[in-house]
Structure 1
Amino acid sequence: MRAEWQAHIDELLGQYREQRDKLKGLQDRLATIEATGEAADGMVRVTVDRQGRLTALELDPRVYRKLASTELSEAVLEASNNAAEDVAEQTRQIMEDVAPAGAPGGGIPDLGKLLPEKFDMDSIREHYGLLGK
């Protein structure tokens, strides 16, 4: 194989690995997203994870004296929705540099699958006629 081709392949491989590492870091940031939402003047606090699943619920003791059960359930839902909206915004901000414009915001893609960790360079070289005979 020509030295300049090998140098170019090595350069592309280096760029590929750099982008893969960036995507891995992005995936790690996305995995740690969580948010807390409040309702009923702060008497109800809800924390959700990156998928909107409830991970914590805090009720101020005053809430039992001030809210009826239906009002309390509405406050929990409101706080959950507020937290979920915050998670969606955090995700959007992290993804805006890599997601195509207008891409749907539902779910988080597995960024590691975009650039697999290993691939067969011999197959690529053979495909482009760069493999020595």
Structure 2
Amino acid sequence: MFDEGIQKAESVSDEAERDVRGSMLRGWRRKCPNCGKGPMMSSYLRVRGTCPVCDERLDAHRADDGPAYLTILIVGHIMAPAIIWAFTTFRPEPMVLASVFTVGCVALSLYLLPRLKGAIVGLQWAKRMHGFRES
């Protein structure tokens, strides 16, 4: 019985390491972290149950609030200095400044959110986190 536990632990550690950077880049492109060909998303933010190309299980992810947090962090760090620079350099009307940067923030957020979710799912797949360890 003790030997079975050791053999099982050795088989888990002998599993091939997954390429973290590659799987995150495939996730950024919203493709399957395993094959890189099948689409990961079935809609804007909904992850498919399985990859239609390689049948890799994708529904085990636990991205939760991570993509939203990273999106807010990145958009804030890009737009805050940009709005200060635009205000001090051009001195636009407040409504013009607010309108332009509102559209910019929304557009950048909509662009980044699904890509960051894909990257986080790719990271979890590569590190065999949560339900990905069985596959």
Does TM, normalized by the shorter one, top 0.5?
A: no
Larger Rg: 1
Higher fraction of helix: 2
More strand by percentage: 1
TM-score (norm 1): 0.37
* TM-score of the two chains, using structure 2 as the length reference: 0.36
